[in-house]
A and B are shown apart, each in its own frame.
Chain A
Amino acid sequence: MRRAVGLPWQMLRGAVALTYLFIFTPIVITALVSFNSINQSKFPPVGFSMRWWDDALSERWLQPLWFSVQLATLTAVIATLLGLPLAFGLTRYKFPGRNILVALSLGPLALPALVTGIGILQFFQTAGLAALFGFPALLIGHVVICLPFSVRTIAISLRAMPAKVEQAAANLGARPARVFLEITLPLIRSGLFAGAIFCFIQSFTDYSVSLFLSRAGMQPISIAILSYIDYGFTPTLAAVAVLTLVVPLVLIAAVQHFFGIGDFLYGARDSG
Chain B
Amino acid sequence: MSVAALASRPSRTIIAWRPILLVGVPAAFLLFCFVLPNAFLLTSSAFKSESQVLTNQLTTENYGFLLGRAVYRGAILRTFLIGALVGLLVVVLSYPLAFFLARTRSRWKGALIALSLSPLLASVVVRTYGWWVLLNREGAVNDLLRATGITSQSLPLLPSVGAIVIGLTHSLLPYGVLTILSSLNGVNPSFEKAAMSLGANRIRTFFEVTLPLSLPGIVGAFVIAFTLSISAYATPAILGGPSTATMATLIYDFMTSLADWALGSAMGALLIVSSMVLLVIGAVLGSKREAL
A1 to B41, CA, bound (A): 54
Q: Is the CB of A119 within 8 A of B37?
A: yes
Nearest-Cβ distance from residue A222 to partner chain B, whole angstroms: 5
CB-CB under 8 A from A24, the residues of chain B are: 119
Nearest-Cβ distance from residue B108 to partner chain A, whole angstroms: 12
Q: Is the CB of B271 within 8 A of A266?
A: no
Q: Is the CB of A266 within 8 A of B234?
A: no
A201 to B139, CA, bound (A): 30
Q: Is the CB of A143 within 8 A of B29?
A: yes
Within 8 A of B (CB), among A223-265: 225-226, 229, 233, 237-238, 241, 244-245, 248-249, 252
The verdict on A27 contacting B127 (CB below 8 Å), with A8-B203, A89-B22 known, is yes
CB-CB under 8 A from A116, the residues of chain B are: 34, 37-38
29 A-B pairs whose Cβ atoms sit less than 8 Å apart in the complex: A2-B196, A4-B202, A23-B119, A26-B170, A27-B130, A28-B130, A86-B26, A89-B19, A90-B292, A93-B22, A95-B19, A105-B30, A111-B275, A112-B268, A114-B231, A114-B248, A115-B271, A115-B272, A116-B34, A118-B255, A122-B265, A143-B29, A144-B34, A152-B292, A176-B18, A208-B231, A229-B238, A241-B126, A252-B121
Against A, the Cβ 8 Å flags (1 = close, 0 = not) of B254-292 are 010000010011001101100110010000000000011
Interface residue SS majority, chain B:
helix
Interface residue SS majority, chain A:
helix
The verdict on A119 contacting B29 (CB below 8 Å), with A30-B126, A86-B22, A207-B124 known, is no
Q: Is the CB of B35 within 8 A of A104?
A: yes
Nearest-Cβ distance from residue B46 to partner chain A, whole angstroms: 13
Cβ-based interface call for B61 (8 A): no
CB-CB under 8 A from B18, the residues of chain A are: 93, 176
Looking at the complex, which of A12-20, A55-63, A160-168, A186-194 is the stretch in contact with chain B?
A12-20
Residue of A115, A151, A201, A229 touching B41 (CB-CB under 8 A): A115
Cβ-based interface call for B33 (8 A): yes
Cβ-based interface call for B222 (8 A): no
Q: Is the CB of A119 within 8 A of B40?
A: yes
Against A, the Cβ 8 Å flags (1 = close, 0 = not) of B144-173 are 000000000000000000000000001001
Cβ-based interface call for A121 (8 A): yes
A204 to B120, CA, bound (A): 11
Q: Is the CB of A25 within 8 A of B37?
A: no
A185 to B19, CA, bound (A): 17
A4 to B140, CA, bound (A): 39
CB-CB under 8 A from A30, the residues of chain B are: 126-127, 129-130, 133
Q: Which 7 pairs, one residue from A and one from B, show the smallest C-beta to C-beta distance?
A: A26-B130, A112-B231, A119-B37, A89-B22, A93-B19, A89-B23, A86-B26
Q: Is the CB of B22 within 8 A of A126?
A: no
Nearest B residue to A27, CB-CB: B130
Nearest-Cβ distance from residue B272 to partner chain A, whole angstroms: 6
Q: Is the CB of B132 within 8 A of A85?
A: no
Residue of A93, A114, A244 touching B268 (CB-CB under 8 A): A114
